[in-house]
Amino acid sequence: MRTSSFYPLLQVSDVERTAQFYETNLGFVRTFATDWYVQMRAASEHPFEIAIIGQDHDSIPLAAQGPSRNVILSFYVDDAAAEERRLVAAGVDVVQALRDEIFGQRHFIAADPNGILIDVITPIEPDPAWLAANSP
83 sits in which H/E element: helix 80-89
- 44 DSSP 8-state letter: S
> What's the rounded mean pLDDT across residues 68-79?
96
> What's the rounded mean pLDDT across residues 109-115?
97
> What's the rounded mean pLDDT across residues 81-102?
98
pLDDT of residue 3: 87
pLDDT of residue 37: 98
Beta strands in 44-92 (DSSP E): 49-54, 72-76
pLDDT of residue 49: 95
In the predicted structure, residue 44 carries a pLDDT above the cut 90? no
Between CA 95 and CA 113 the distance in angstroms is 12
Asked if 75 and 99 touch (Cβ cutoff 8 Å), the reply is no
pLDDT band at 47 (very low <50, low <70, confident <90, very high): confident
For 24-40, write each residue's pLDDT tens digit.
999 999 999 999 999 99
Neighbours of 130 (CB within 10 A): 13
Between CA 125 and CA 82 the distance in angstroms is 18
Neighbours of 93 (CB within 10 A): 13
pLDDT of residue 45: 80
Between CA 49 and CA 68 the distance in angstroms is 17
pLDDT of residue 6: 87
Between CA 133 and CA 101 the distance in angstroms is 15
Neighbours of 22 (CB within 10 A): 22
pLDDT band at 78 (very low <50, low <70, confident <90, very high): very high
Residue-range domains of the chain with CATH = 7-58 (3.30.720.120), 69-136 (3.30.720.110)
pLDDT of residue 135: 83
